[in-house]
Amino acid sequence: MLVRAFDKFFSSDSAGGILLILSAVAAMIAANSVLAPYYDGALNAYLSITINGSGLEKPLILWINDGLMAIFFFLIGLELKRELLEGKLKNPRDVLLPGAAAVGGMVVPALVFVFFNWGDPAALGGWAIPAATDIAFALGILALVGTRAPASLKVFLLTLAILDDMGAILIIAIFYTANLDVSYLFMALLPLAGMIWMNMRGAHRVAPILLLGVVLWVLVLKSGVHATLAGVVTAFLIPLRDVWGKSPLHSLEHGLHPYVLFFIVPVFAFANAGVVLSGLSLSDFLAPLPLGIALGLIVGKQLGVFGITWLVVKSGIASLPHGANWMHIYGVSCLAGIGFTMSLFIGGLSFADAELMNQVRLGVLSGSLVSAIVGFTVLYLAGSTEENEVNSDAEPVAAQ
């Protein structure tokens, strides 16, 4: 009975989001209890992999953020490649509405953040923090709504979040590269060439590509470019079809997904969500940095996603997802404000100071929590799929 209950939980769409919440709660308990010295000590403990004194030496928190998250981005890369070649991103017409919404959902939150932090050049480096959307968290909340939301809404949110992740990857590549060492980038061309060659041959075994990907990760890390991008590049060089017609990409994505969803992302959340609450007051929430992040996620995402969607549909360029009404779209716009994993990740790239990172956590967690609650409430009140089927044919016409 217990085993069956565990199987049912881990096979549900909401499992990933629930584990993220539990990990964040555990992190906050650890950071604000007698466990705090052990929590901080473990995250700052140095782990080294060296040969003759040369190699990698980093605190555990950076092994998680640079190493484990490279695997997270590797999975995102696999999903992106599959969607581009044979999925939701293959047909440009299907991408138009969620794509426009994704752009609005990145630009407007960034502008909201900049508005509140314009007078602080140091804080402005975090402009991209509220631009991200957490796929697992957002889809988990949507799954809790059940059949009250049409199936097309999940496709809309998933496509929007995937494109949002693509934008986050580009932002990291362009704006978060420091102290560039070109010599390591030139050396990185060797494993890259090997992976390209095996991909073009339709290699059946992916282990050699993955080993070269690890070498690429080390060289990219040494170059100053953020190492998680090596995960995306490696993913795009996994063959979709091998010489036998099988799909190494599908197999790898399917096998890796539960490890990322149920281990890597919760570990990242536990390591990065520990907000220190001692001494906090209302004025701390209203400080420009956390306020800009929170309102960017809450207000900016709603204005960006809903506003652009409304403009595109009302202009006749695209129609609403089948069975969805404007209240559904507004609910999804709220869910897009759940930044969590990606926002915390970008926050870690933006600020090294512990006090500033605590403010980032405060803004991300408060903004994501409000977005989740409002999004769930709106979608629950929006009505069931059956109720909206009556108006599904008339909605696009009205939108014209």
Higher-confidence residue of 356 and 143: namely 356
Share of the chain above pLDDT 90, in %: 37
What would the 3-class secondary structure string for 76-141 be? HHHHHHHHHHHCCCCCHHHHHHHHHHHHHHHHHHHHHHHHHHCCCCCHHHHCCHHHCCCHHHHHHH
Q: What is the pLDDT of residue 155?
A: 83
Q: What is the pLDDT of residue 333?
A: 95
Q: What is the pLDDT of residue 83?
A: 84
Report the top-level CATH class of 15-399. mainly alpha
Q: What is the pLDDT of residue 400?
A: 30
Per residue in 324-347, pLDDT tens? 899 999 999 999 999 888 898 898
Per residue in 85-106, pLDDT tens? 887 777 777 788 998 999 999 9
Q: What number is the average pLDDT over the span 235-264?
A: 91
CA 363 – CA 369 distance, rounded (Å):
10
Average pLDDT over the chain, rounded to an integer: 85
Q: What is the pLDDT of residue 384?
A: 60
- Where residue 397 falls among pLDDT bands split at 50, 70, 90? very low
Q: What is the pLDDT of residue 190?
A: 94
Q: What is the pLDDT of residue 285?
A: 83
What is the reported pTM? Answer: 0.79
Query: Mapping DSSP to helix (H, G, I), strand (E, B) and coil, where does residue 56 land?
Result: strand
Q: Mean pLDDT lowest for which of 29-38, 224-233, 356-365?
A: 224-233
Q: What is the pLDDT of residue 2?
A: 61
Q: What number is the average pLDDT over the span 248-275?
A: 89
Higher-confidence residue of 142 and 252: namely 252
- Where residue 275 falls among pLDDT bands split at 50, 70, 90? confident
Give which of 351, 382, 373 is closest to 126, Cα–Cα: 351
Q: CB within 8 A of 220, min separation 6: which ones?
A: 184, 185, 188, 226, 227, 229, 230
Neighbours of 209 (CB within 10 A): 24
Q: What is the CA radius of gyration of the chain?
A: 21
Which range, 11-25, 129-143, 214-228, 369-383, is most confident? 369-383
Per residue in 185-202, pLDDT tens? 899 999 999 999 999 988
In the chain, where the domains are located? 15-399
79 has a pLDDT exceeding 90: no
Q: What number is the average pLDDT over the span 359-387?
A: 85
